[in-house]
Amino acid sequence: MNKEQNNFLFDEKQTKKIMRRAKFWSTIKTIGITLIVSPIVLIVLWYGLRYLSLNSAQKVSDDIRLFNEISAPNVQISNQVYDDNLLGGKITTTTYKVLGDQHRPYIWQPIESDYNLFGTLIHSYISNSIQIEGSESLAETYQFERFNDYTGDREMFFYHPKISYDVYKNKISELNQLDKNTLVELAISFDNAYSFGEIKSKLPPEVQVDWWWVDAYTDDTLDFFKQGQNTISANDPYIYGFQSEQSKPKARRSSNNEVDTFIQNIELLRKSKNFEWETNQVYQSLIGENKTLDKSDVKIIGAVVTGTPEQLEALQGQTYIKASTFGVISNRK
């Protein structure tokens, strides 16, 4: 082996040694960078997903509050709690009813709602009514009392003025049988659809209205209801209306007209992917010939009133009241 061959072998060995050393330090460097960068990336990703999740929770929470404003007879929201994770979470909404002119709260059923990372409501868990009696006749079944499966209280139900029923409940006539130290929730159904101003002028001033029932039904829906003489339960998903300013403490009362607020809430929810279908149904059933929703399009067909039996007895003999049913009856003390 000559000198040139020795130099070549030496250079080859040295080159491989240098390359192994360079590869080793390159690997160490890569591992070091990965160990430093990965936690930073994970932390940024975690905070980003958490921020998105909390924003989604707030958005869903706002939508739930808005939808409650156009539905849920005499049910108000007291608090909402988030149980969020990186992919969405759950919102628990606690609710209450208002009883009487002292605005006494009556704890009502909570609503649990699941949502995803992008602020879409996946599912809401709402309790169903308990109906103890049964009948083969649909018309008779829809007249039976129903009870909330969370509180055990009576669930109110209403009669639509465009549906002819064989029987109409008149619980106003039973108010004198109740103890004077009770607070009563009463659903009243009108004989016709009235403008907001017209029906407000008809009701006795001593009677507190907590919620107004709006005629937001399409002809197809009413035709379906007529077949079985359906009454409309207060916890049905297709009952719409708005809270009365009387149901709020004076300090919280809005300067806006209730009907204006109702229309505004519908317009806001139509822009949201949550409750979009429901509010579009309401909108389409209410709009007039000009294809816009105006105050004159909102007609009132019923209400929820609360107070003592003595206060509510002022409704006796009011000819525009077609029917009445009890809801919560609570000891005033």
What dihedral angle (degrees, nearest 10) is formed by the CA atoms of 31, 33, 36, 39?
-80
pTM equals 0.83
Does residue 307 contact residue 213 with C-beta atoms inside 8 Å?
A: no
195: exposed, middle or buried (Cβ count in 10 Å: 0-12, 13-18, 19+)? middle
Tens-digit pLDDT profile for the chain (333 aa)?
Answer: 555 555 545 566 676 667 777 676 767 767 777 777 667 766 666 566 667 777 888 899 999 999 999 999 999 999 999 887 777 889 999 999 999 988 899 999 999 999 888 888 887 766 677 877 766 566 667 778 889 988 999 999 999 999 999 999 999 999 999 999 899 999 999 999 999 999 999 999 889 999 999 999 988 899 999 998 999 999 888 899 999 988 877 656 665 689 999 999 999 999 888 898 889 989 999 987 778 899 999 999 999 999 999 999 999 999 999 999 999 999 866
User: Rounded to an integer, what distance in angstroms lies between the CA atom of residue 257 and that of residue 244?
Assistant: 10
For 234, the token pair is 């207060």
> Which residues pair with residue 213 across a beta bridge?
241, 302
Other CB atoms within 10 Å distance of the CB of residue 104: 14
User: Rounded to an integer, what distance in angstroms lies between the CA atom of residue 260 and that of residue 176?
Assistant: 37
Predicted pLDDT at 182: 94
Look at residues 221, 274, 228, 289 and name the one whose alpha carbon lies nearest to residue 113: 274
For 89, the token pair is 């979470």
